[in-house]
Amino acid sequence: MVEIDDIILKITLISKKIRRLVIKMLSIAGSGHPGGSLSCVEIVTTLYFHIMRHRPLEPDWDDRDRFVLSKGHSCPTLYANLVLSGYFPEEELKRLRMLDSILQGHPDRLMTPGIEVSTGSLGQGLSCACGMALAGKIDKKDFWVYVLLGDGEIQEGQVWEAAMSASHYKLDNLIAFLDYNKFQIDGKVCDVMNIEPLKEKWASFGWYVQEIDGHNIAEIISAVDCAKKIKEMPKMIICHTIKGKGVSFMENKPEWHGVTPTKEEAERALSELV
């Protein structure tokens, strides 16, 4: 039996690789979103390398768990996870955001193996995840649907329509994560449009809510294990994270939301991610 410490060590090491790949591909592309990509690494990596049931060589396997990256601009982290999982070769990362590349600036399910939903228009991913979860219940399937939302994203009204729908239909096969890094493109989330009180807000919409450190792999695993035991309610895991996590000059800096590193800055970032 694999010990939890071994699992955490494995995911920690993979997360470091993911962060390095994110910096490299964004530097080559010359455009993209480093801050939010780096803040969600442990969440996405723990899903792909421990929690989710999926088959890289059979992306459309009917019984796979589904993952929806609602904050689609953070797709470099998803692409890096798909590469290390075996969905496509690492060489493809060098073509991020290029014409005719399978890796566009936002996820495209028609171009990229392993992508469930084309996302990037913020506020829509939770609705898609609700549809998948409801379909799973109607078809009597046992797959889980996971969705990752951004904190600035949940200022969108459609998110709350979907939240209401999820509890109405008792979608207990739906687990949402909120990447709560406290910053969006225009500054602090609390200044642009305050979203607090978060835990009470989601609970009032009929969700089972937990709050964790979104960089703590043990807490992520424990929260999902706990969520899976809750019946007849959708589940929200609020993950407190750091924008630009792992790169000192990017951490908690809103200007790194959508600005990519120069060659020199990329080298400095990579020297920190060892």
pLDDT digits (tens, 9 = 90+) for 66-108: 999 999 999 999 999 999 999 999 999 999 999 999 999 999 9
pLDDT tens digit sequence for 250-271: 999 999 999 999 999 999 999 9
Mean pLDDT of 213-238: 98
Q: What is the CATH number of the domain that holds 185?
A: 3.40.50.970
- Tell me the average pLDDT across 6-21: 98
Amino acid, res. 241: T
The average pLDDT across 226-251 equals: 98
- Counted domains in the chain: 1
How far is it, in rounded angstroms, from Cα 17 to Cα 50? 16
At 165-215, the pLDDT tens digits run: 999 999 999 999 999 999 999 999 999 999 999 999 999 999 999 999 999
* Euclidean distance between CA atoms 90 and 82, whole angstroms: 9
Q: Which domain holds residue 30?
A: 4-272
- pTM of structure: 0.98
Does 1 score more than 70 pLDDT? Answer: no
Q: Is the pLDDT of residue 136 over 80?
A: yes
The structure tokens 């494995």 sit at: 10
Beta bridge mates, 235 = 175, 208
Instruction: Outline where DSSP puts E strands in 93-233.
Output: 145-150, 174-180, 183-184, 187-188, 208-213
pLDDT at 5: 95
Q: What is the pLDDT of residue 2?
A: 74
Kindly tell me the sign of the dihedral angle through the C-alpha atoms of 2, 66, 132, 128.
positive
Class of residue 84 by CB neighbours under 10 A (exposed 0-12, middle 13-18, buried 19+)? middle
Distance from chain centroid for Cα 38: 10
* Tokens found for residue 252: 């908690």
Rounded Cα–Cα distance for residues 199 and 208 (Å): 9
Contact between 182 and 188 under an 8 Å Cβ cutoff? The reply is: yes
Contacts of 88 (CB under 8 A, 6+ apart): 82, 102, 112, 113, 114
Per-residue pLDDT of 18-61, as tens digits, reads 999 999 999 999 999 999 999 999 999 999 999 999 999 999 99
- Tell me what the mean pLDDT of segment 138-161 comes to: 98
CB-based contacts of 119, cutoff 8 Å, min separation 6: 68, 69, 70, 71, 72, 106, 107, 125, 128
| Long-range residue pairs from 52-57, CB within 8 A, at least 24 positions apart, any chain | 52/144, 52/146, 53/143, 53/144, 54/85, 54/114, 56/82, 56/85, 56/86, 56/87, 56/113, 56/114, 57/86
